[in-house]
Amino acid sequence: MEEAKRKTISELGRNEPPPDDCCPICFSSFFAPFQAPCGHWYCGGCIMEYWNHVAAFRPCKCPLCSRPITNLTPEPTLYQQQDDDAGIRETINNVRKYNCLFAGGFVLQLLQLPLFLKRLIQAMMDPDRPVAYLSRMRLLAVLFGALYTLSPFDFLPRFRYLDAIDLFDCSAIAISFSLYFVGLYSRRRRLRRLRQVAPIPPFEVDM
């Protein structure tokens, strides 16, 4: 334990990943390496994929020490390499958006609101997590319905058995299930396309 702490402290002073180390996620040589606040290094693309699958709306935790990663620092040479490599340039842009979400101030977070909405829709379309955000959507629907009821505005259609809160609630349920079925259909299409592209092994005929 003490040895791991000493290693982490020594890594905090580095500007580049250790030459004899590899990415803890893909176990390959570092590609576009970034350093977490805890001192551990990761491929920029690997840590972004890890964030996409583990934590949608909060900073991901370091896979090695479980500390929150609120800011990722690139290796200094990456800025010179991005002009010649589109992959490095895209990784730097993705990490910059991540840093704006969790390390920037209120204005930067407000500018990244479209990214939050995009991630919310992607998370709600995940077939492996059916209606994972349904309770949150319904809670927001009740809040919006209450605000609409208390406001002087009256532009929603009136229904005999539905007030504003019920209308927002039903809309949230319909949107959640619609996005789930869209994600399920998209996955089926991708799997069908993969089966069509995958080579068919030749049949062996015993003589």
Of the residues 89, 112, 135, the one at which a domain ends: 112
Which residue among 73, 91, 112 closes a domain?
112
pLDDT at 149 over 60: yes
- Cα(25)–Cα(195) distance, integer angstroms: 28
Q: pLDDT (tens digit, 9 = 90+) per residue, 169-205?
A: 888 888 888 888 888 888 888 888 877 776 655 555 5
CATH number (domain holding residue 69): 3.30.40.10
- The whole-number pLDDT of residue 1 equals 47
119 domain residue, yes or no: no
Amino acid at 101: L
Using the predicted structure, report yes or no on whether residue 22 has a pLDDT greater than 80.
Answer: yes
- What are the pLDDT digits (tens) for 88-133? 889 999 898 888 877 666 666 666 677 777 777 777 777 777 666 7
pLDDT value for 86: 85
Q: Is the pLDDT of residue 56 over 70?
A: no
Residue pointed to by tokens 């005999």? 160
Residue 174 domain boundaries: 125-197
Quote the pLDDT of residue 172. Answer: 86
Structural domain contains residue 118: no
Indicate the number of domains in the chain. Answer: 2
Ordered DSSP codes for 13-77: T-SS--TT---TTT-S--SSEEE-TTS-EEEHHHHHHHHHHH-SSSPPBPTTT--B----EE-TT
State whether 21 and 90 are in the same domain.
yes
Do 138 and 87 share a structural domain?
Answer: no
Residue 35 has pLDDT above 90, yes or no: yes
What DSSP assignment string belongs to 100-142?
A: HHHTS-HHHHHHTHHHHHHHHHHHHT-TTSTTTTHHHHHHHHH
CB within 8 Å of 84: residues ≥ 6 apart: none
Is the pLDDT confidence value at 9 over 50?
A: no
Quote the CA–CA distance of 194 and 32 in Å, as a whole number. 29
Q: What's the pTM value of the predicted model, to 2 decimals?
A: 0.57
Is 137 domain-assigned?
A: yes
- Please indicate, yes or no, whether residues 23 and 96 belong to a single structural domain of this protein: yes
Of 81, 112, 143, which residue sits at a domain end? 112
Structure tokens at 93: 């842009």
Examine residue 148 and state whether it is found in any structural domain, yes or no: yes
- Phi, psi dihedrals of residue 185, rounded to the nearest 5°: -65, -40
Angle at 157 between CA 152 and CA 161, to 5 degrees: 105
